[in-house]
Amino acid sequence: MFSYSSPAALSPTAQSAANLFRQAYGPPPSSFRVDRVPGRVNLIGEHIDYHSLPVLPMAIDRQIAVAYAPAKAAELRTVSAAIGGSPDTIHLGSQTPGPPGDWLNYVRAAVEAAGRRWRLRHGISAAIASDLPLAAGLSSSSALMIAHLLALLRANDIEPSIDELMDILPETEHFVGTRGGGMDHAAIVASSPGAALHVRFAPFSFEPVPLPEDWRFLVAHSGMHAEKSGAMRDAYNRVKQAGLAGLRASGLTSFTEARANGAAPPDLREKYPAFAHVVEEAARVDQAIVAMGQGDLAAFGQILLASHRSLRDRLAISTPAVDRLVDDAVACGADGARMTGAGFGGCVLAVCRNTDCHEIRQALKGRYYARQTGLNVSEHLFFVQASGGACIQPSRGATSIDA
Ligand code: GLA
């Protein structure tokens, strides 16, 4: 853990969280901390984690910063720079979700999970700032939940292991009504700098897969929000059900078995496109890891494009704007691109060689963003680096400052 004698040494996002804390609660006590919880981008393995198949995301260098201090009262107070207003208060103990899409649902989910698993002696006062685009497929909501959960636990001197966290985190998200898997949480807590994270489920395990040093990842926001716990919640859950319907029709008992069997028979593929997607996307994860190991950017790019076609045509979860962005990225010289995250808008991930990356970004700026009104390019088109997760290398991830 770094210790700073001056808050000025904090990153701009951490600094904003610290400033917001001061505004909301007054001068920070000596127990004050600012922790960093990153977002994630999924390289490959989309809509298969909740079928317990392996995926390949990475934590990114965009994050939520949570400034906090223990409080005597058995309540969590929190305020967000993005939302504004005065702090909201949530009493520790069992929670009931508010309306779908309410940001506090993720905080309630954190309080509920922490209280169910651990004995909490303190509440916290917290302030949140973020440089992670919201509802964009970069897991801002899971990062928000994990930021509050870790702050609450650390304020109670509880430092959970990654396995302990992964026991409860995927389930926690069900509180907001999405039947997702554990990919986002694994990437957010367990990623290593400079590497993607090969995450396996049932049983959970993870392994860093180093990224070739001359590859660069560009995130391009389509401008369409994709709030998976709000309007898109039912559509997201339907994708899962469609895959399961195909699994039942196949007569197999799990997707692990279906994956081991290889490509699905043509009639099943045609009748249950979501089933075909799951089996083939799982194979693409393996192929992508091989391509990364060989530094074969052209092959990796083609794998991303095949994934996008499957998400667009079989799951029907892309949008015309996202499809155009994928095409534009390739036309501008990217080796591959695809929608990333839950879908229904949000971001595209493009990959290219380090040497070409600025030229490609510049071309995409002219090709896609020049035609959009109201999209600030520096906020919507940015390179991402594979960063450490919230529970990895605390010397990089957490900061404490002298009040
Ligand atoms: C969301 C969910 C993840 C995963 C992706 C799609 O991000 O939270 O668990 O299902 O969608 O791959």
Grouped pLDDT means (10 residues each) for the chain, 403 residues: 44 96 97 96 98 98 97 97 95 92 92 95 97 91 96 96 94 81 97 98 96 98 79 86 97 95 90 97 98 98 98 97 97 98 95 97 95 86 97 52 37
pLDDT of residue 195: 98
For the question of residue 184 being annotated catalytic, the response is yes
**Residue from 61, 88, 167, 184 carrying the catalytic annotation:** 184
pLDDT of residue 397: 40
- What is the Å distance from ligand 1's center to 228 Cα? 9
pLDDT of residue 378: 87
The atom number, within ligand 1, closest to the CA of 46 reads: 12
Cβ contact 279:258 at 8 Å: yes
DSSP code per residue over 100-137: TT-THHHHHHHHHHHHHHS----EEEEEEEE-SPTTSS
- What is the Å distance from ligand 1's center to 181 Cα? 6
Cβ contacts of 136 within 8 Å, gap of 6 or more: 221, 225, 226, 341, 346, 347
pLDDT of residue 228: 63
Give, using CA atoms, the residue closest to atom 8 of ligand 1: 180
- What is the Å distance from ligand 1's center to 243 Cα? 14
> Cα–Cα distance between 188 and 391 in angstroms, integer?
8
First to last CA, the chain: 16
pLDDT of residue 400: 44
Beta strands across the sheet bearing 33-44: 2-4, 398-401, 33-44, 56-71, 123-130, 75-80, 88-91
DSSP code per residue over 284-339: HHHHHHHHHHHT-HHHHHHHHHHHHHHHHHTS----HHHHHHHHHHHHTT-SEEEE
Q: Which amino acid is at 243?
A: G
| Bridge partners, 203 (sequence order) | none
Structure token pair of residue 152: 């609450």
pLDDT of residue 225: 84
Which residue ranges have their beta carbon within 6 Å of ligand 1? Answer: 42, 46-47, 49-50, 180-181, 183-184, 228, 341-342
Cβ contact 50:281 at 8 Å: no
> Cα–Cα distance between 107 and 90 in angstroms, integer?
8
SS3 253: coil
> Cα–Cα distance between 301 and 218 in angstroms, integer?
13
pLDDT of residue 229: 63
> Cα–Cα distance between 50 and 180 in angstroms, integer?
6
CB burial of residue 348 (10 Å; 0-12, 13-18, 19+): buried
pTM of the predicted protein model? 0.94
Q: Quickly count: other Cβ atoms within 10 Å of residue 355's Cβ.
A: 9
- What is the Å distance from ligand 1's center to 74 Cα? 32
Structure token pair of residue 84: 């504004």
Give, using CA atoms, the residue closest to atom 5 of ligand 1: 342
